[in-house]
Structure 1
Amino acid sequence: MNLFFRLLSVFLRANFARPRVSLFDTTRLRSRVMLTDQDMFAHMTNSRYFSFSDLAVINYIVRTGTWPKLRKRGWFPVVCAESVTFSRMLSWRDRFEIETRLIGWTDTYMCLQHDFIRDGKPTAMVRIIARFASRKRDRVTMDDVVAYLGVERTSPALPAEFENMVADVESARQRHNGDSAAA
């Protein structure tokens, strides 16, 4: 996390935000492009979108009230894949908002989408595929997480883009496990 002070600010603001929101609600995080967020072309550097997405995930987890529950179990999210699509440039001093929402989940992965909005218009979209890990190194499935959090709904159908990302993650995982088994 290369935005430590922003992380601290997001965590504190989200922790005291009321009311809590549902896992299926959209959370919002407001920010501004700082001079240090720019690249040599005078727009926000590509890697910052992923850093801001990390902040938006923290905001989402804390605002939904799942943070203390996950900590109690020793579970934490691990990003397995990310993709970004740009439609407009963000530049120094631009104010923007990140809208985060849960798209759905599979047996293993949860799918989140972050929409970057400036002046009411989308500027970028970050898609994230994540799984949960355990500090005890136990296997954590999405069924475990959903049951523990008391979610009584099934996952909405995943859009094709997310289905493809999940398939890519699984393919890479199988290739990696196959390579390590042969070594």
Structure 2
Amino acid sequence: MYPFFRLAKELYLHRKAEPLPLDGIHVSRHVCWPWDLDMWMELNNGRTLTLLDLGRLPLAQRVGLIGVLKRERWALTMAGVSVRYRRRVKMFDSFEIRSRCVGWDDKFLYIEQGMWRHGDCANHALYRAAVTDRSGIVPTARMMAAMGLAPETPPLPDWVQAWIAAEAERPWPPMTD
């Protein structure tokens, strides 16, 4: 089940947090509960993606995106993710999620998130997110204008550009042969 109460708690806790610039880092603290586990008694890989929402949405709130989404009647959707898992998170482990926007292109925002436990990065995700309306994807220049920001993006890190290039080579639809 989606952690609606945990998300509501995070949005409430950070409602008066200092606003962040679009590339600012939002840090949130969490606990791995029994219902987050897989059959090996560690954080389920799919649940990891769900828990990362608990960092991404308060980040969107703190940079001012949530207000713009509500005002414009837009939505935020994930258009891709790549995750690297490196350390186990076990029941009752506390961890923090660090979230930031690393840049954007004409269609997508690129959001980096890390889940940290005991000073080590347990996993790291790169998301491609899109703002949408009834017609489809809202160009990032339009989104930036609605946020009162300049549309120019800082250069994306090389590893993000490489991921974008690799995704462009990936066949779609998959497994057609």
**TM score, norm. by length of structure 1:** 0.85
**Residues 34-45 of structure 1: pairs in structure 2 closer than 5 A:** 34-45=33-44
Instruction: Report the CA distance between 1:169 and its aligned residue.
Output: 5.0
Q: What's the counterpart of residue 49 of structure 1?
A: 48
Q: What's the counterpart of residue 106 of structure 1?
A: 105
Q: What's the counterpart of residue 115 of structure 2?
A: 116
Write the distance in 2 (CA, Å) between the matches of 1:3 and 1:20. 24
Aligned-residue CA RMSD (Å):
2.1
Structure 1 unmatched runs, 5+: none
Letter in 2 for 1:54: D
Instruction: Report the CA distance between 1:98 and its aligned residue.
Output: 0.4
* Residues 129, 165 of structure 1: 8 Å contact kept: no
Q: Following TM superposition, where does structure 1 have runs of at least 4 consecutive aligned residues deviating by more than 2 angstroms?
A: 136-139, 159-172
Instruction: Report the CA distance between 1:66 and its aligned residue.
Output: 2.3
SS of equivalent residue, structure 1 residue 99: strand
Change (3 A) 1:58 1:44: same
Range with greater deviation from structure 2 (26-35 or 149-158): 149-158
SS of equivalent residue, structure 2 residue 97: strand
* Residues 34, 92 of structure 1: 8 Å contact kept: yes
Write the distance in 2 (CA, Å) between the matches of 1:139 and 1:85. 27
Task: Point out the structure with the larger helix share.
Answer: 1
Asked whether 1:69 is paired with 2:50, we answer: no
Write out per-residue CA displacement over residues 108-146 of structure 1, whole angstroms, 9 at most, x where no aligned residue: 111000011112211110110011101x32651011111
Write the distance in 2 (CA, Å) between the matches of 1:147 and 1:141. 10
Instruction: Report the CA distance between 1:161 and its aligned residue.
Output: 3.4
Asked whether 1:23 is paired with 2:16, we answer: no
Q: Give the length in aligned residue pairs.
A: 174
Asked whether 1:2 is paired with 2:2, we answer: yes
SS of equivalent residue, structure 1 residue 47: helix
**Residues 119-138 of structure 1: pairs in structure 2 closer than 5 A:** 119-134=118-133, 136-137=134-135
Q: What's the counterpart of residue 95 of structure 1?
A: 94
SS of equivalent residue, structure 2 residue 14: helix
Write the distance in 2 (CA, Å) between the matches of 1:99 and 1:6. 16
Letter in 2 for 1:10: E
SS of equivalent residue, structure 2 residue 90: coil
Instruction: Report the CA distance between 1:162 and its aligned residue.
Output: 2.3
SS of equivalent residue, structure 1 residue 103: strand
Q: What's the counterpart of residue 146 of structure 1?
A: 144
Write the distance in 1 (CA, Å) between the matches of 2:168 and 2:130. 12
Instruction: Report the CA distance between 1:14 and its aligned residue.
Output: 2.1
SS of equivalent residue, structure 1 residue 67: helix
Write the distance in 1 (CA, Å) between the matches of 2:27 and 2:8. 16
Write the distance in 1 (CA, Å) between the matches of 2:166 and 2:54. 25
